[in-house]
Amino acid sequence: MSPSIDKDSFVLVKSLKKKKLNKFFIFRHKIYGRLVKKLIKIDSSNNFWFEGEHQSSISKKQVGPIKERDILGQIIFSISKSSIKFHL
């Protein structure tokens, strides 16, 4: 999830009722398993759309719509070898 979250980071995740756009979330995906991506859109059918930041990331279309029940939580902060970042 670089550049915001470095590879091999540890992250603290909290389940928050309100899902804010442009925040990082962890969710379950049918094909890809447990993913971390940035929330970019909530559509009229209450589907949540995510995308990565890195140019090699799978696209929004590949991730597809995600239901709220599959969202495990928002990343509160991350700790990498070189930095500690808050993502609130």
Q: Which residue ranges make up the site for another protein (CB under 8 A)? A: 1-2, 5, 7, 10-11, 26, 30-37, 52, 54, 56-59, 61-62, 79-81, 84
CB 22 within 8 A of CB 39: yes
In this structure, which amino acid lies at residue 84?
Answer: I
Q: For the beta carbon of residue 44, count every other beta carbon within 10 angstroms.
A: 5
Q: How far is the CB of 8 from another protein (least distance, A)?
A: 9
Nearer to another protein, 14 or 34 (CB): 34
CB 78 within 8 A of CB 84: yes
Q: How far is the CB of 14 from another protein (least distance, A)?
A: 14
